[in-house]
């Protein structure tokens, strides 16, 4: 009887509200509303967030009773926890307890589900690592070591506490995925189109037709003046019809 009462005393009700796309990680009954979460205490704020299945890399601000606290804060009965995703257009630096620093250079590493997105990001000039045989642990280690943002379709990959910058891509269609990532990270001003090889990510070298005539069909060499050469995989790019379609896609992204 006494033991049962002691165990009940350890169970405390905490109130949570998760905003915007963080709801993608919650069960239906918890989405887009305040919900009560019974937790055995003592328990830290970080442990509670982790138990909800929300990756820390998706979170930019957590308030407890309208105050910023550390992830080590010990939750109390009837605490009200507000959890916000990364803000791209609103400066909230004065509100949050900075737990991750902005990256000076926007670089990505993608999991096996996002090969087409990797090519599109390279097309826009972003340093983007991709292999379809990357292990999750390898992606995480490279992300930490090289300060790369992880993009993934696997929610569980982002659960590692080692990850500081990561994003779960919601869309399954390649053009929508590109649009989603560009908008999420506000990449418009960083476009450097056709500066990287879409196949291997190496920076392209500009070449005149006279320097590349042996590498392309004769009619192409005659028709186009400028080419883009990959010194790693020896691919040659030029501004043909495929280029115009991709350029149109880029313009569309930049005006949305």
Rounded to an integer, what distance in angstroms lies between the CA atom of residue 209 and that of residue 189?
30
- 195: in domain: no
42 with 72, same domain: the answer is: yes
Give me the domain span that covers residue 240. Answer: 205-255
Q: Look up the CATH number of the domain holding residue 9.
A: 3.10.20.30
- 90: in domain: no
Q: Binning pLDDT at 50, 70 and 90, where does residue 101 land? A: low
Mean pLDDT of the chain: 86
76 with 118, same domain: the answer is: no
Q: What percent of the chain has a predicted confidence (pLDDT) above 90?
A: 54
Rounded to an integer, what distance in angstroms lies between the CA atom of residue 215 and that of residue 163?
42
- 245: in domain: yes
- Comparison of pLDDT for 150 and 84, the residue scoring more: 150
Q: Please determine, for residue 97, whether its predicted confidence score (pLDDT) is greater than 70.
A: no
- 96: in domain: no
Q: Binning pLDDT at 50, 70 and 90, where does residue 158 land? A: very high
pLDDT tens digits, 44-93: 999 999 999 999 888 888 999 988 888 899 999 999 999 988 754 444 45
- 100: in domain: no
145 with 74, same domain: the answer is: no
- 102: in domain: no
68 with 20, same domain: the answer is: yes
Average pLDDT over residues 211-219: 82
214 with 245, same domain: the answer is: yes
Helix (H, G, I), strand (E, B) or coil at 82: strand
Cα torsion 171, 175, 179, 182: sign: positive
- Comparison of pLDDT for 102 and 164, the residue scoring more: 164
77 with 132, same domain: the answer is: no
User: If we measure between CA atoms, which residue out of 82, 120, 86, 118 comes closest to residue 102?
Assistant: 86
- 99: in domain: no
170 with 135, same domain: the answer is: yes
- 32: in domain: yes
- Comparison of pLDDT for 252 and 202, the residue scoring more: 202
Instruction: Tell me how many domains the chain contains.
Output: 3
Quick one: pLDDT at residue 184? 87
Q: Binning pLDDT at 50, 70 and 90, where does residue 218 land? A: confident
Quick one: pLDDT at residue 176? 92
């Amino acid at each position: 009887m006494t033991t049962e009462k002691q165990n009940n005393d350890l169970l405390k009700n905490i109130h949570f509200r998760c905003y915007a796309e963080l709801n993608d990680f919650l069960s239906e009954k918890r989405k887009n509303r305040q919900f009560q979460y019974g937790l055995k205490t003592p328990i830290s704020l970080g442990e509670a967030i982790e138990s909800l299945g929300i990756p820390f890399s998706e979170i930019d601000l957590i308030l407890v009773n309208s105050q910023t606290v550390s992830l080590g804060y010990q939750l109390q009965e009837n605490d009200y926890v507000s959890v916000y995703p990364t803000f791209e257009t609103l400066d909230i630096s004065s509100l949050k307890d900075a737990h991750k620093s902005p990256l000076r250079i926007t670089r990505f590493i993608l999991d096996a589900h996002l090969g087409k997105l990797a090519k599109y990001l390279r097309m826009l000039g972003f340093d983007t690592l991709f292999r379809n045989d990357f292990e999750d642990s390898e992606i995480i280690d490279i992300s930490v070591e090289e300060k790369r943002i992880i993009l993934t379709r696997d929610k569980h990959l982002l659960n590692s506490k080692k990850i500081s910058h990561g994003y779960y891509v919601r869309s399954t269609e390649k053009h929508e995925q590109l649009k989603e990532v560009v908008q999420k990270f506000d990449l418009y001003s960083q476009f450097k189109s056709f500066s990287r090889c879409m196949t291997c990510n190496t920076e392209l070298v500009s070449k005149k037709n006279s320097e590349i005539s042996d590498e392309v069909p004769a009619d192409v060499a005659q028709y186009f003046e400028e080419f883009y050469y990959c010194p790693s995989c020896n691919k040659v790019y030029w501004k043909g019809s495929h280029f115009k379609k991709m350029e149109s896609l880029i313009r569309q992204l930049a005006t949305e």
